[in-house]
Amino acid sequence: MTTEKPKRRERYKGTYPKTFNQKYKEQNPEKYQETILKVIEKGNTPAGMHRPIMTTEILDFFDIKEGQIGLDLTLGYGGHTSQMLNVLNHKGHLHATDQDPIELPKTKERLESQGFTSSDFTLHHLNFKDLDLIGQTFDFILADLGVSSMQIDDPKRGFTFKQDGPLDLRMNPSEGVPASIRLQELTTDEIEGMLIENADEVYAHQIALEITKEKHSGNPIDTTKALYQIIKNALAFLPKNDRDDATKKAATRTFQALRIDVNSEYEVLFELLDKLPNFLNPGGKVAILSFHSGEDRLVKKAFKHFYNEGIYKQIDGPISPSNDEIYQNPRSRSAKLRTAIKT
């Protein structure tokens, strides 16, 4: 019999970094290629990075020719932009807008590091509803609506209840008011209406009541975790087995509804769709990627309206991502692509 002491098993630390800061390797995608590839292989999007969606479908539709002038209304990480720049092959020009002043300069650097210069592209810190300010018409225009993964992954911006942070949710923090202030401004009925209109929230009534209760008790609702706790309390009447899952889904919808409200997403999209034909050259093409039914309805209606008026000669969609893309990038699963061609 041996008297050798059994070796102590090393404590299991988990496979994933637990906090945003621990994800630092993913935050520097250019520097830590290997880590990034591993995260992507698992079907996840590395923190600080955004993977462009339905790129093949969009590029096939645009059929970009060298010398053309394009516009990416939602620059984000620059994924679609750099693909379109590749096809332009330094002949032609791509304008791109984004209202996010935090990510825009990082994306500019990234595009420059890929060998593109000011003769290839021009970036505009602009809300896309103000595209008139670019002062030009285009051969192709892309809008990939919603928020980027970098915005979601940064807890300081308050887009997710999965990490604690200020309840802000503005894509442009220098415009409008953060979500915490909006909740103070809205009545119970308005909160309920917002949750239903912007996210079809099933428990809108209960959540609106609980938010009001918290406001009356004088407790601030100024962090993502504080709002999550309120949603949890509002759903405490559900059977224990269903509660956790239902709370997560309700929180996802509530954050979506607030984000749409704080950024006036329907209003600016409406304004954009109304103006778009004025900025397309004859035969010019527009592609819009939307991520929930409210947005998609607006795009569908506007495209149909201008088609019936003879302003668009062809409209198509909605097209969904392939099963393969959804498997590789689950964040693409709710995407819908609609396209139109100007007469």
Ligand X SMILES: C[S@@+](CC[C@H](N)C(=O)[O-])C[C@H]1O[C@@H](n2cnc3c(N)ncnc32)[C@H](O)[C@@H]1O
Q: Which residues bind ligand X (CB under 6 A)?
A: 50, 52, 74, 76-80, 97-100, 103, 127-128, 144, 146-148, 171, 268
- Give me the least distance between CB of 209 and ligand X, in Å please: 31
Q: How far apart are CA 104 and CA 127, in angstroms?
A: 12
Instruction: Name which of 40 and 209 has its Cβ closer to ligand X.
Output: 40
Q: Annotated binding residue at 151? A: yes
3-class state of residue 124 by DSSP: strand
- Residue 227 CB-half CA count within 13 A: 33
Cα first-last separation, the chain: 89
CA distances to 74, 120, 287 from 131, in Å: 11, 19, 16
- Give me the least distance between CB of 76 and ligand X, in Å please: 3
Q: Annotated binding residue at 78? A: yes
Q: Annotated binding residue at 80? A: yes
Residue 281 CB-density burial (10 A; 0-12 exposed, 13-18 middle, 19+ buried): middle
Instruction: Name which of 40 and 202 has its Cβ closer to ligand X.
Output: 40
- Give me the least distance between CB of 272 and ligand X, in Å please: 7
Q: Which residue is nearest to ligand X (CB)?
A: 76
Residue 63 CB-density burial (10 A; 0-12 exposed, 13-18 middle, 19+ buried): exposed
Q: Are 286 and 317 in contact (CB under 8 A)?
A: no
Q: Annotated binding residue at 144? A: yes
Instruction: Name which of 23 and 80 has its Cβ closer to ligand X.
Output: 80
- Give me the least distance between CB of 278 and ligand X, in Å please: 17
Q: Which residue has the tokens 């329907």?
A: 266
Q: Annotated binding residue at 98? A: yes
Give the rounded distance of the alpha carbon of 6 from its chain centre: 51
- Give me the least distance between CB of 264 and ligand X, in Å please: 8
Q: Annotated binding residue at 115? A: no
Q: Which two tokens stand for residue 225?
A: 């975790």
Instruction: Name which of 204 and 287 has its Cβ closer to ligand X.
Output: 287
Instruction: Name which of 192 and 261 has its Cβ closer to ligand X.
Output: 261
Q: Annotated binding residue at 310? A: no
Binding residue positions for S-adenosyl-L-methionine: 78-80, 98, 128, 144, 151
